Amino acid sequence: MVAEGRAEFATAGGPRRPARTALVAAAVVLFAVICGVIVANQAGRRDSGATVTGELTKTARERNAECLNMARDKPVDAVKCYSAVLQDAPDNVESLTYRGWIRVLSGDNQGLTDLRQAVMVDSKYPDVHAFLAIVLFNAGCTADAANELERLDALNPSPLMQQQIDSAGLRQQINDALAAPTTTANACGQK
């Protein structure tokens, strides 16, 4: 059943084009850069809500940083790590977003489910909209991808996030696809 879903997901955008392959490669680089920034920002921080009990416990933020550290080299372990965070904090939008993104990069259709759930938890979390724009564009849902970029822009994302989206060529590819007279602006039912 998973294999069927992968095939359906992979063929949703039609035949692979060099531009889409380059976009996927750029998305992986974007993920690595975002991972590095988040880990650097989280290093040494403690949530103010942490309880002191005499034993060292890790906050969700610290656990997410650990998950992100293993994402590049051990994606399966990173998914398990994020899942463990979500057991304790089911509405942790960062865990949902990044578990979803890792799953998408691994070819697991559950990744898109995680990303959609992250939007339901907190639609103002910019990273999820960047990842959804990439996923939807790669699936051939050009109009929906454009809508996700609009949502991302409205949230005033970090300059690094904007730069990565623009340097990956995603915005330009979406604009070109929408402007092309021979293609239709496919919408796949995203809200």
Q: Are 145 and 137 in contact (CB under 8 A)?
A: yes
Radius of gyration, alpha carbons of the chain: 17
Decide: 167 and 124 in contact? Cβ < 8 Å.
Answer: no
Distance CA 98, CA 19 (A): 24
DSSP annotation string for 10-75: HHTT-S--HHHHHHHHHHHHHHHHHHHHHHHHHTT---TTPPP-SS----HHHHHHHHHHHHTT-H
**Quick one: average pLDDT of 86-106?**
95
Q: Does residue 118 carry a pLDDT above 70?
A: yes
CA separation for the pair 185, 12 (Å, rounded): 14
Q: Alpha-carbon distance 149 to 85, whole Å?
A: 28
What does the pLDDT read at residue 49?
41
Pick 26 or 84 by higher pLDDT: 84
Most confident of 36-40, 72-76, 96-100, 171-175: 96-100
Domain ranges, ordered by start, for the chain: 17-44+56-179
**41-50, 51-60, 170-179, 181-190, range with the lowest pLDDT:** 41-50
pLDDT at 40: 55
- Give the pLDDT band of residue 47 (cuts 50, 70, 90): very low
SS3 6: helix
Structure-token match 């979803």, residue found: 100
The pTM is what? 0.71
Q: 39 falls in which pLDDT band (50, 70, 90)?
A: low
Strand, coil or helix: what is 112? helix
* Domain 17-44+56-179 indexed as CATH 1.25.40.10: yes
Q: How many helices (H) and strands (E) does the chain have?
A: 10, 0
Whether residue 80 is predicted with pLDDT greater than 70 in this model: the reply is: yes
Write out the DSSP string of 90-112. TT-HHHHHHHHHHHHHTT-THHH
Q: What is the mean pLDDT of residues 141-168?
A: 90
Residue 40 one-letter amino acid: A
Is residue 191 classed as helix, strand or coil in its secondary structure?
coil
DSSP one-letter code for 87: H
